[in-house]
Amino acid sequence: MFTGILVTKDDAGYRATLQDIDDSLLGEGDVTLRVEWSTLNYKDGLAITGQSPVVRRFPLVPGIDFAGTVVHSSHPAWRPGDQAILNGWGVGESHSGGLAQMARVHGDWLVDLPPVFSTRQAMAIGTAGYTAMLCVLALEKHGIRPADGEILVTGANGGVGSVAIALLAGLGYTVVASTGRPAEADYLQSLGAARTIDRAELGTPGKPLGKERWAGVVDAVGSHTLANACATTKYRGAVAACGLAGGMDFPASVAPFILRGITLYGIDSVMAPLALRQQAWQRLASDLDVAKLEAITQEIGLSEAIAVGTELLKGSVRGRVVVDVQ
Protein backbone atom coordinates (compact mmCIF):
# COMPACT_ATOMS: atom_id res chain seq x y z
CA MET A 1 0.00 0.00 0.00
CA PHE A 2 1.07 3.58 -0.63
CA THR A 3 -0.57 7.00 -0.37
CA GLY A 4 -1.89 8.88 -3.36
CA ILE A 5 -4.80 10.56 -5.04
CA LEU A 6 -7.32 8.27 -6.65
CA VAL A 7 -9.94 9.34 -9.18
CA THR A 8 -13.08 7.21 -9.22
CA LYS A 9 -16.32 7.38 -11.15
CA ASP A 10 -19.37 5.40 -10.14
CA ASP A 11 -23.04 5.86 -9.31
CA ALA A 12 -22.04 8.39 -6.64
CA GLY A 13 -20.31 10.49 -9.30
CA TYR A 14 -16.79 11.60 -10.22
CA ARG A 15 -14.41 12.32 -7.36
CA ALA A 16 -10.76 12.53 -6.40
CA THR A 17 -9.70 11.48 -2.90
CA LEU A 18 -6.42 11.17 -1.03
CA GLN A 19 -6.22 7.62 0.24
CA ASP A 20 -4.21 4.44 0.67
CA ILE A 21 -3.82 2.73 -2.67
CA ASP A 22 -3.13 -0.94 -3.31
CA ASP A 23 -0.13 -1.95 -5.45
CA SER A 24 -2.52 -3.69 -7.83
CA LEU A 25 -3.68 -0.25 -9.03
CA LEU A 26 -0.25 0.62 -10.40
CA GLY A 27 -0.26 0.52 -14.18
CA GLU A 28 1.45 -2.06 -16.32
CA GLY A 29 5.13 -1.56 -16.90
CA ASP A 30 8.65 -2.83 -16.43
CA VAL A 31 9.95 -0.08 -14.15
CA THR A 32 8.61 0.72 -10.67
CA LEU A 33 9.63 4.02 -9.14
CA ARG A 34 9.38 5.77 -5.82
CA VAL A 35 7.88 9.09 -6.86
CA GLU A 36 9.58 11.99 -5.09
CA TRP A 37 7.99 15.01 -6.73
CA SER A 38 5.05 15.50 -9.01
CA THR A 39 3.38 18.69 -10.21
CA LEU A 40 0.06 20.22 -11.09
CA ASN A 41 -0.41 21.00 -14.76
CA TYR A 42 -3.58 22.33 -16.36
CA LYS A 43 -4.46 18.81 -17.43
CA ASP A 44 -4.09 17.57 -13.85
CA GLY A 45 -6.63 20.19 -12.80
CA LEU A 46 -9.01 18.78 -15.39
CA ALA A 47 -8.37 15.22 -14.19
CA ILE A 48 -8.85 16.08 -10.50
CA THR A 49 -12.07 18.02 -11.03
CA GLY A 50 -13.51 15.96 -13.88
CA GLN A 51 -14.18 19.24 -15.70
CA SER A 52 -13.05 17.66 -18.95
CA PRO A 53 -12.86 13.93 -19.80
CA VAL A 54 -9.10 13.62 -19.33
CA VAL A 55 -9.27 10.44 -17.25
CA ARG A 56 -10.21 7.53 -19.47
CA ARG A 57 -9.91 4.63 -17.04
CA PHE A 58 -11.17 4.25 -13.47
CA PRO A 59 -9.96 4.03 -10.77
CA LEU A 60 -6.81 5.93 -11.70
CA VAL A 61 -4.04 7.94 -10.07
CA PRO A 62 -3.87 11.35 -11.82
CA GLY A 63 -0.61 13.21 -12.44
CA ILE A 64 0.82 13.51 -15.95
CA ASP A 65 4.39 13.85 -14.75
CA PHE A 66 6.73 12.86 -11.94
CA ALA A 67 10.37 12.50 -11.01
CA GLY A 68 11.66 9.76 -8.80
CA THR A 69 14.01 6.87 -8.17
CA VAL A 70 13.81 3.42 -9.70
CA VAL A 71 13.14 0.69 -7.11
CA HIS A 72 12.59 -2.21 -9.48
CA SER A 73 13.28 -2.69 -13.18
CA SER A 74 13.25 -5.46 -15.74
CA HIS A 75 14.01 -2.91 -18.49
CA PRO A 76 17.61 -3.00 -19.78
CA ALA A 77 18.10 0.77 -19.57
CA TRP A 78 17.03 1.22 -15.94
CA ARG A 79 18.45 -0.05 -12.66
CA PRO A 80 17.42 0.45 -9.04
CA GLY A 81 18.74 3.78 -7.81
CA ASP A 82 18.51 5.51 -11.21
CA GLN A 83 16.70 8.84 -11.19
CA ALA A 84 14.20 9.48 -13.95
CA ILE A 85 11.57 11.86 -15.27
CA LEU A 86 8.22 10.92 -16.76
CA ASN A 87 6.14 13.26 -18.94
CA GLY A 88 2.96 12.27 -20.69
CA TRP A 89 2.50 9.04 -22.66
CA GLY A 90 -1.07 8.93 -21.35
CA VAL A 91 0.13 8.67 -17.75
CA GLY A 92 -2.43 10.36 -15.50
CA GLU A 93 -5.03 9.81 -18.23
CA SER A 94 -5.25 6.09 -19.07
CA HIS A 95 -2.32 4.83 -16.96
CA SER A 96 -1.91 5.58 -13.25
CA GLY A 97 0.28 8.64 -12.74
CA GLY A 98 2.46 10.74 -10.53
CA LEU A 99 0.22 12.03 -7.73
CA ALA A 100 1.07 9.05 -5.52
CA GLN A 101 4.13 7.71 -3.75
CA MET A 102 4.71 4.89 -6.24
CA ALA A 103 4.34 4.54 -10.00
CA ARG A 104 4.93 1.81 -12.55
CA VAL A 105 5.58 2.67 -16.19
CA HIS A 106 7.32 1.40 -19.29
CA GLY A 107 11.05 2.04 -19.25
CA ASP A 108 10.90 3.42 -22.80
CA TRP A 109 8.83 6.31 -21.47
CA LEU A 110 11.42 7.54 -19.00
CA VAL A 111 14.06 10.22 -19.49
CA ASP A 112 17.28 10.41 -17.44
CA LEU A 113 17.23 13.13 -14.80
CA PRO A 114 19.84 15.67 -16.04
CA PRO A 115 22.59 15.76 -13.38
CA VAL A 116 22.20 19.52 -12.88
CA PHE A 117 18.64 19.11 -11.62
CA SER A 118 17.22 17.65 -8.42
CA THR A 119 13.99 15.70 -8.78
CA ARG A 120 12.25 18.75 -7.29
CA GLN A 121 13.72 21.10 -9.89
CA ALA A 122 12.79 18.69 -12.68
CA MET A 123 9.21 18.86 -11.54
CA ALA A 124 9.33 22.62 -11.06
CA ILE A 125 9.89 22.49 -14.81
CA GLY A 126 7.47 19.60 -15.29
CA THR A 127 5.44 18.96 -18.41
CA ALA A 128 4.62 22.66 -18.70
CA GLY A 129 8.29 23.65 -18.81
CA TYR A 130 9.28 20.80 -21.08
CA THR A 131 6.46 21.86 -23.43
CA ALA A 132 7.72 25.45 -23.31
CA MET A 133 11.11 24.11 -24.42
CA LEU A 134 9.47 22.17 -27.27
CA CYS A 135 7.95 25.48 -28.41
CA VAL A 136 11.31 27.24 -28.22
CA LEU A 137 12.95 24.42 -30.19
CA ALA A 138 10.27 24.76 -32.89
CA LEU A 139 10.88 28.53 -33.21
CA GLU A 140 14.64 28.01 -33.31
CA LYS A 141 14.33 25.27 -35.93
CA HIS A 142 12.26 27.66 -37.99
CA GLY A 143 15.29 29.94 -37.98
CA ILE A 144 13.96 32.72 -35.76
CA ARG A 145 16.83 34.63 -34.15
CA PRO A 146 16.74 37.32 -31.43
CA ALA A 147 17.43 40.07 -34.00
CA ASP A 148 14.28 39.13 -35.94
CA GLY A 149 11.99 40.92 -33.48
CA GLU A 150 9.67 40.39 -30.55
CA ILE A 151 8.37 37.00 -29.43
CA LEU A 152 4.84 36.94 -28.01
CA VAL A 153 4.13 34.53 -25.12
CA THR A 154 0.45 34.08 -24.22
CA GLY A 155 -0.92 32.66 -20.96
CA ALA A 156 2.15 34.33 -19.51
CA ASN A 157 1.55 33.68 -15.81
CA GLY A 158 0.88 29.99 -16.35
CA GLY A 159 3.41 27.18 -16.19
CA VAL A 160 4.12 27.05 -19.93
CA GLY A 161 4.16 30.83 -20.23
CA SER A 162 6.42 31.48 -17.24
CA VAL A 163 9.05 28.96 -18.35
CA ALA A 164 8.83 30.10 -21.98
CA ILE A 165 9.52 33.71 -20.92
CA ALA A 166 12.51 32.69 -18.80
CA LEU A 167 13.94 30.50 -21.57
CA LEU A 168 13.44 32.97 -24.41
CA ALA A 169 14.78 35.93 -22.43
CA GLY A 170 17.80 33.87 -21.42
CA LEU A 171 18.47 33.13 -25.09
CA GLY A 172 18.43 36.83 -25.90
CA TYR A 173 14.95 37.19 -27.39
CA THR A 174 12.79 40.22 -26.66
CA VAL A 175 9.67 38.77 -25.05
CA VAL A 176 6.23 40.35 -24.89
CA ALA A 177 4.02 38.68 -22.29
CA SER A 178 0.25 38.59 -22.82
CA THR A 179 -1.61 38.28 -19.55
CA GLY A 180 -5.01 38.77 -17.96
CA ARG A 181 -3.26 39.66 -14.71
CA PRO A 182 -1.60 43.07 -15.24
CA ALA A 183 -0.85 43.18 -11.51
CA GLU A 184 1.74 40.48 -12.19
CA ALA A 185 3.70 42.67 -14.63
CA ASP A 186 6.65 42.97 -12.24
CA TYR A 187 6.79 39.20 -11.86
CA LEU A 188 6.73 38.69 -15.63
CA GLN A 189 9.43 41.31 -16.12
CA SER A 190 11.55 39.65 -13.43
CA LEU A 191 11.41 36.49 -15.56
CA GLY A 192 12.69 38.47 -18.53
CA ALA A 193 9.63 39.89 -20.31
CA ALA A 194 10.46 43.24 -21.92
CA ARG A 195 6.85 44.35 -21.52
CA THR A 196 3.36 42.99 -20.98
CA ILE A 197 0.13 43.43 -22.92
CA ASP A 198 -3.43 42.87 -21.77
CA ARG A 199 -4.71 39.54 -23.04
CA ALA A 200 -8.00 41.27 -23.94
CA GLU A 201 -6.11 42.80 -26.91
CA LEU A 202 -5.88 39.34 -28.47
CA GLY A 203 -8.82 37.55 -26.92
CA THR A 204 -11.73 38.82 -29.03
CA PRO A 205 -12.53 38.35 -32.74
CA GLY A 206 -10.01 40.27 -34.87
CA LYS A 207 -9.24 40.98 -38.51
CA PRO A 208 -7.85 38.27 -40.82
CA LEU A 209 -4.61 40.27 -40.98
CA GLY A 210 -3.32 42.84 -38.52
CA LYS A 211 -0.19 44.94 -38.19
CA GLU A 212 2.91 42.71 -38.32
CA ARG A 213 4.19 42.55 -34.74
CA TRP A 214 5.79 39.21 -33.79
CA ALA A 215 8.76 37.33 -35.19
CA GLY A 216 7.44 34.31 -33.31
CA VAL A 217 4.76 33.27 -30.84
CA VAL A 218 4.42 30.72 -28.05
CA ASP A 219 0.69 30.27 -27.55
CA ALA A 220 -0.80 28.44 -24.57
CA VAL A 221 -4.29 29.92 -24.98
CA GLY A 222 -5.81 28.92 -28.35
CA SER A 223 -9.11 30.30 -29.72
CA HIS A 224 -9.20 34.02 -30.71
CA THR A 225 -5.81 34.56 -29.07
CA LEU A 226 -4.18 32.07 -31.41
CA ALA A 227 -6.06 33.41 -34.42
CA ASN A 228 -5.02 36.99 -33.62
CA ALA A 229 -1.45 35.91 -32.90
CA CYS A 230 -1.28 34.36 -36.39
CA ALA A 231 -2.85 37.47 -37.94
CA THR A 232 -0.19 39.72 -36.35
CA THR A 233 2.87 37.54 -36.95
CA LYS A 234 5.47 39.04 -39.28
CA TYR A 235 6.12 37.84 -42.80
CA ARG A 236 7.52 34.25 -42.72
CA GLY A 237 7.33 34.15 -38.93
CA ALA A 238 6.15 31.17 -36.87
CA VAL A 239 3.66 30.38 -34.15
CA ALA A 240 4.07 27.43 -31.78
CA ALA A 241 0.61 26.41 -30.55
CA CYS A 242 0.58 24.19 -27.47
CA GLY A 243 -2.44 25.09 -25.37
CA LEU A 244 -6.14 25.76 -25.06
CA ALA A 245 -6.46 27.68 -21.78
CA GLY A 246 -8.80 30.10 -23.58
CA GLY A 247 -10.60 27.58 -25.78
CA MET A 248 -10.10 24.69 -28.15
CA ASP A 249 -11.47 26.46 -31.22
CA PHE A 250 -9.35 28.21 -33.83
CA PRO A 251 -11.50 30.92 -35.44
CA ALA A 252 -8.92 32.05 -37.98
CA SER A 253 -8.58 32.68 -41.73
CA VAL A 254 -5.94 31.39 -44.14
CA ALA A 255 -4.76 34.96 -44.83
CA PRO A 256 -1.65 34.90 -42.58
CA PHE A 257 -0.59 31.59 -44.16
CA ILE A 258 -1.10 32.42 -47.82
CA LEU A 259 -0.29 36.15 -47.75
CA ARG A 260 2.47 36.28 -45.15
CA GLY A 261 3.82 32.75 -45.37
CA ILE A 262 3.62 32.24 -41.63
CA THR A 263 3.97 28.74 -40.19
CA LEU A 264 1.85 27.26 -37.41
CA TYR A 265 3.62 24.52 -35.46
CA GLY A 266 1.54 22.13 -33.38
CA ILE A 267 3.35 21.22 -30.19
CA ASP A 268 2.52 17.94 -28.48
CA SER A 269 4.42 16.83 -25.41
CA VAL A 270 2.46 13.65 -24.66
CA MET A 271 3.60 11.38 -27.48
CA ALA A 272 6.75 13.28 -28.49
CA PRO A 273 9.52 10.87 -29.52
CA LEU A 274 12.20 10.02 -26.97
CA ALA A 275 15.02 11.75 -28.88
CA LEU A 276 13.10 15.05 -28.90
CA ARG A 277 12.35 14.71 -25.18
CA GLN A 278 16.00 14.08 -24.44
CA GLN A 279 16.97 17.11 -26.52
CA ALA A 280 14.41 19.27 -24.70
CA TRP A 281 15.61 18.16 -21.25
CA GLN A 282 19.26 18.69 -22.23
CA ARG A 283 18.45 22.18 -23.43
CA LEU A 284 16.50 22.90 -20.23
CA ALA A 285 19.57 21.76 -18.28
CA SER A 286 21.86 24.10 -20.20
CA ASP A 287 19.58 27.09 -20.79
CA LEU A 288 17.14 27.52 -17.90
CA ASP A 289 18.18 29.88 -15.10
CA VAL A 290 17.46 27.86 -11.94
CA ALA A 291 17.11 31.05 -9.89
CA LYS A 292 14.21 32.05 -12.13
CA LEU A 293 12.84 28.51 -11.86
CA GLU A 294 12.78 28.82 -8.07
CA ALA A 295 11.00 32.18 -8.36
CA ILE A 296 8.13 30.69 -10.36
CA THR A 297 7.70 27.62 -8.14
CA GLN A 298 5.43 27.05 -5.19
CA GLU A 299 5.46 23.85 -3.18
CA ILE A 300 2.49 21.96 -1.79
CA GLY A 301 1.92 18.59 -0.14
CA LEU A 302 -0.12 15.78 -1.63
CA SER A 303 -3.00 16.62 0.74
CA GLU A 304 -3.33 20.08 -0.88
CA ALA A 305 -3.21 18.89 -4.51
CA ILE A 306 -6.96 18.45 -4.93
CA ALA A 307 -7.77 22.00 -3.76
CA VAL A 308 -4.94 23.61 -5.72
CA GLY A 309 -5.81 21.62 -8.85
CA THR A 310 -9.26 23.19 -8.69
CA GLU A 311 -7.75 26.70 -8.30
CA LEU A 312 -5.46 26.11 -11.28
CA LEU A 313 -8.42 25.85 -13.63
CA LYS A 314 -9.69 29.23 -12.44
CA GLY A 315 -6.46 30.76 -13.77
CA SER A 316 -5.50 32.05 -10.34
CA VAL A 317 -2.31 30.04 -9.85
CA ARG A 318 0.95 31.69 -10.89
CA GLY A 319 3.87 29.76 -12.39
CA ARG A 320 4.51 26.18 -11.38
CA VAL A 321 3.23 24.06 -8.50
CA VAL A 322 5.40 21.18 -7.30
CA VAL A 323 3.87 18.45 -5.16
CA ASP A 324 5.93 16.82 -2.42
CA VAL A 325 4.59 13.33 -2.82
CA GLN A 326 6.46 11.68 0.06
- Residues interacting with ligand NDP, by CB under 6 A? 41-43, 127-128, 131, 155-161, 179-181, 199, 203, 220-221, 225, 242-246, 267-270, 312, 315
* Residues 102, 99: Cα–Cα separation, whole Å: 9
Report in angstroms how near the CB of residue 107 gets to ligand NDP at its nearest: 22
User: How many other CB atoms are there within 10 angstroms of residue 92's CB atom?
Assistant: 31
- For ligand NDP, the closer of residues 65 and 148 by Cβ is 65
Minimum CB separation of residue 135 from ligand NDP in Å reads 9
Smallest gap from Cβ 130 to ligand NDP, in A, equals 8
**In the complex, least distance from residue 219 CB atom to ligand NDP, rounded to whole angstroms:** 9
Cross-strand bridge partners of residue 297: 320
Q: With H, G, I as helix, E, B as strand and everything else as coil, classify residue 236.
A: strand
Q: Say if residues 219 and 196 touch (Cβ distance below 8 Å).
A: no
96 or 269, CB closer to ligand NDP?
269
Closer to ligand NDP by Cβ: residue 27 or 180: 180
Measure the CA–CA gap between 158 and 318, rounded to whole angstroms. Answer: 6
Give the contacts of 123 (CB within 8 A, at least 6 positions apart): 37, 38, 39, 65, 66, 67, 322, 323
Task: Give yes or no for a contact between 56 and 6, defined as CB atoms under 8 angstroms apart.
Answer: no
In this chain, which residue has its C-beta nearest to ligand NDP? 158
> Least distance in Å: CB of 268 to ligand NDP?
5
